Structure 1
Amino acid sequence: MTYEIEIGRGKRGRRAYSLDDVAIVPSRRTRDPKDVSVKWQIDAYQFEMPVVAAPMDSVMSPATAITMGKLGGLGVLNLEGLWTRYEDPQPLLDEIAALSEENFSPAATLRMQEIYNAPIQPELITSRLAEIRESGVTVAGSLTPQRTQEFYKTVVAAGVDIFVIRGTTVSAEHVSREHEPLNLKQFIYELDVPVIVGGAAGYTPALHLMRTGAAGVLVGFGGGATTTTRRALGIHSPLASAISDVAAARRDYMDESGGRYVHVIADGGLGTSGDIIKAVAMGADAVMLGAALARAEEAPGQGWHWGQEAHHHELPRGDRVKVGTVGPLEEVLYGPSHHTNGTSNLVGALRRSMATTGYSDLKEFQRCEVVLAPYQID
C-alpha cells in the first residue's frame, strides 16, 4: 500500500527515503565472516565481489580497470572521457587536479569544459579496450545514450564483454523532434553482448528498461558526491526508496517474462561501506562506485572526483570535489583498514555485516530486516 502526503492543497507526494534513513536489524543467527559469499554473476561473467567501478575519469583508467578486474570486480572505462580524446591524458589529469580548490568555481568549470571539448577518437576507443582485453580481465566500456549510435560499432568491434549505457537518467522511450532517438529494445536485441543501462529512479521507468532486454539496470539519479542535479534541475530520488522500487520491478518482470532475471545495480551516493551494505539490503545485486574508489592511490583523479555532468557544455550540473586518498585500491576494497569511517575494506565490511545478521550470500541478504532510523548529525 502506498501512502501519499498532502504537501499543499494542490499537490500530494509519496514519502521517499535515503540510505541514511534506514538501518539493518540483526536476526537470530550470526555467522563466521569466512563462511559468507559476496560473489556476483551477471550473464556469463562471475565476479568475486558485487562492485562495479563507475565509468568516470577520476576513477577509471585502462590501468585501474585492469587492477579492478584482477581484484575480482568489474572496471568500466568511460569511452567519452580523456582516455579516448587524448593520446596521453596524464597532463590534463594533472591540470584538473591542480585547478582551484574552491567549490563551484566557474573558472575551474570553464577549463574542464575546454579540456573535454576535444573530439572523441574512435581509434583510441579501440586501443584502450584492447589494452584491457590483453590483461585477461572482463572488458566493459560505457557510452551515454546520446553517443551510443555514433560509437557502439567501434566498441563492439574492439571486443567489449559488457556494454554500459549510462546517463543521468535513461528511459526506454525518448521523444525528440530534432533527431531519431536510440531504440533501446532494438539496439539490445541486435547486440551480442549483455547491456547494463541506467539510471532509473522508479518502478515504472525501470520496468520499461527491463523490457528492452537489458541484463542490468542502474538505479540512481542525482545522488552522487559530484552532482548538483538537485540544485540545478530540482530532480532527486532518495536511493533507499529507489532501489526498493526497482527491486519490485525486477520481481514483477520475472513473473511477466517467465523467469528472466535483471540485475539491479545501485549507482550514486554510495560513499562508504555502510551505504553499500544498505543498498544490497534494500534489494541491489551489485553497486557501482565512484567516490569510494576515487579515494584509491591508483585513481586517476589524484584525490579529486568528478563526473560528466561537471563539464557539460551547456548546463554543467556537477562539481569537482576533493575526496582525498585513503590507500591502495586493494586496501580500499579488501583492507586491512586503518580508517573508522567506512572508506576502506569495503568488501570486508559487507561480508562482516552479512555475517553479523546471519546471511550467507547476497540474495539471502536482500531479505534482511530493515527499520527506519533517520541519522541525526550532532
Structure 2
Amino acid sequence: MSNEIEIGRGKRGIRAYSLDDVAVIPARRTRDPRDVSLDWQIDAYHFELPFIGAPMDSVVSPATAIALGRAGGLGVLDLEGLWTRYEDPQPYLDEIARLGEDEATGRMQEIYAAPVRPELITARIEEIRAAGVTVAGSLTPQRTQEHWKTVVDAGVDLFVIRGTTVSAEHVSSDAEPLNLKRFIYELDVPVIVGGAATYTAALHLMRTGAAGVLVGFGGGAAATTRRTLGIHVPMASAIADVHAARRDYMDESGGRYVHVIADGGLGTSGDIIKAFAMGADAVMLGSALSRAHESPGQGWHWGAEAHHPSLPRGRRVHMGTVADLDALLFGPGESAVGEVNLAGALRRAMATTGYVDLKEFQRVDVVVAPHQYHTEG
C-alpha cells in the first residue's frame, strides 16, 4: 500500500516522520535494567556503548576520543578539522567560542582555510592509538583520495567517509570521482559511509562493501540544510527505510550484515531511544555530547557545513554545558530533559519494554504520535 499523499494536483509525496512523531509502546513484560546489555560490535571491534562521537571539532578532540573510548564508546576524529590544520588548535577553539553571532561564520571560514597537514593526521591518530582505544577518523568524499593512505598508514582501525550526503555513484565532469566499491575492496580496514536517507541510496552503499551506513540528511542542531537547500529527510522514516534496505541486502548477499548508524537530530535520550526502536544498531552523537564539560567546543557546537567556503549550510549554536562526560553518559542526572545519563535512559527504556539487547529492541512496537498534538511537557 502506498503512503503517498497528494500535495496538489500536480505533485504527490511520501509521508515521512521525524523522531518527534513516533513513540515507543510499553509491553506486557518488563525487565530489570541491570540485565540489559548495550553492547554492539562492528567488524572485529566490540563496544560496551552504542554511542559514537561525531567527527565535529566541537565534540571530538584526541582527548575526548580517548575518554569516550575508555567509557566503552567510540570517538571519531574529524581529520579535516582544526586538529589536523594547526599544531595547537586551542587558541582557535577559544576564539570560536568568543565570536559574536554576526561574525562567527565569516571568521570560521578564515580559520578553516588553513590547509590540512598530513603529518598532523599521523600525529593525532598515533596519540589516540597510544591510549589503547579503538581509533576512528573521518574524511569527506572530496578529500578521501588525497589523504586515505596517510590515515591507513597511521594505524586507523575504522575509516569513516562522512558527508552531508554520500552516494555510491557520484558523477562529475571536472574530476575523477571516488569509486567507493573499488576503494573499500582495496582497503584493509572496515569503512563506515554516509549519510544516506533513502532505501535505494542505502542499498547501493551497502553493495560497496561498507561495514556500516550512516543515516541522516539535513538534520542536527547545527545544520541548516533544509533552510539553505530545501533538502531534508525526517529521521524516523530515514532509519526505518535504511533498516529495511539492510534486511533486503542480507537476503541478497547471503547473510552479510551492514550496521545502521543513525546520525543527526539525536539531541536527547528520547531521540536516541527512538532511533534504536526504528532499527539503528548505533547512534552518532553531536549535540548530545557537545554539552559535556570536556567537549572542545566549550558549550558551542558546529559542523563542517558551518564554515563551508562558499555555501555555509550550518551554524554555530550554543548548547551549553551540563555535566562531565561520565555523568552525561552514565549519570546521575540532575535534570529531567533527557540530556544526562544517556546510557541509563536507553537501558531503562529497553527494560520497560521487555528487551535485553539492542537487536531485540529494534522489534519494539511504536505509535505515530505527531508532536504538534502533544500537550504534555
TM-score by length of 2: 0.99
Deviations 1:108-162 (A, max 9, x none): 1110000000000000000000000000000000000000000000000000000
**Corresponding residue for 2:258?**
262
**Corresponding residue for 2:369?**
373
Residue 194, structure 1, aligned to residue 195, structure 2: no
**Corresponding residue for 1:17?**
17
SS at match of 1:187: helix
2:51 & 2:332 partners in 1: Cα distance?
18
1:202 & 1:164 partners in 2: Cα distance?
19
**Corresponding residue for 1:178?**
174
2:64 & 2:240 partners in 1: Cα distance?
31
SS at match of 2:314: coil
Counterpart among 306, 325, 328 of residue 329 in structure 1 = 325
Runs of 4+ aligned residues of structure 1 deviating over 6 Å after TM superposition are none
User: 1:144-223, aligned counterparts within 5 Å?
Assistant: 144-223=140-219
1:359: Cα distance to partner? 0.3
Query: Which residue type is aligned with residue 92 of structure 2?
Result: L
Deviations 1:326-361 (A, max 9, x none): 110011011111111000100100000000000010
Counterpart among 342, 347, 352 of residue 343 in structure 2 = 347
2:3 & 2:216 partners in 1: Cα distance?
22
Query: Which residue type is aligned with residue 167 of structure 1?
Result: G
Deviations 1:259-314 (A, max 9, x none): 00000000000000000000000000000000000000000000000000000001
**Corresponding residue for 1:312?**
308
RMSD between aligned residues? 0.7
Deviations 1:49-91 (A, max 9, x none): 1100000000000000000000000000000000000000000
Counterpart among 277, 290, 293 of residue 273 in structure 2 = 277
2:148 & 2:3 partners in 1: Cα distance?
43
Residue 85, structure 1, aligned to residue 71, structure 2: no
1:300 & 1:311 partners in 2: Cα distance?
17
Query: Which residue type is aligned with residue 302 of structure 2?
Result: W
Query: Which residue type is aligned with residue 46 of structure 1?
Result: H
Residue 240, structure 1, aligned to residue 236, structure 2: yes
1:9: Cα distance to partner? 1.1
**Corresponding residue for 1:4?**
4
2:2 & 2:206 partners in 1: Cα distance?
23
SS at match of 1:153: helix
SS at match of 1:180: coil
Residue 135, structure 1, aligned to residue 131, structure 2: yes
**Corresponding residue for 1:122?**
118
Count residues with an aligned counterpart. 374
1:2: Cα distance to partner? 2.4
Question: What 5-or-longer segments of structure 2 have no aligned partner?
Answer: none
Query: Which residue type is aligned with residue 365 of structure 1?
Result: F
1:314 & 1:171 partners in 2: Cα distance?
22
Query: Which residue type is aligned with residue 143 of structure 1?
Result: L
1:171 & 1:339 partners in 2: Cα distance?
40
2:331 & 2:206 partners in 1: Cα distance?
35
SS at match of 1:123: helix
2:264 & 2:320 partners in 1: Cα distance?
18
SS at match of 1:41: strand
2:313 & 2:364 partners in 1: Cα distance?
36
Residue 301, structure 1, aligned to residue 308, structure 2: no
**Corresponding residue for 1:249?**
245
Percent identical: 78
1:375: Cα distance to partner? 1.8
1:184: Cα distance to partner? 0.1
User: 1:30-69, aligned counterparts within 5 Å?
Assistant: 30-69=30-69
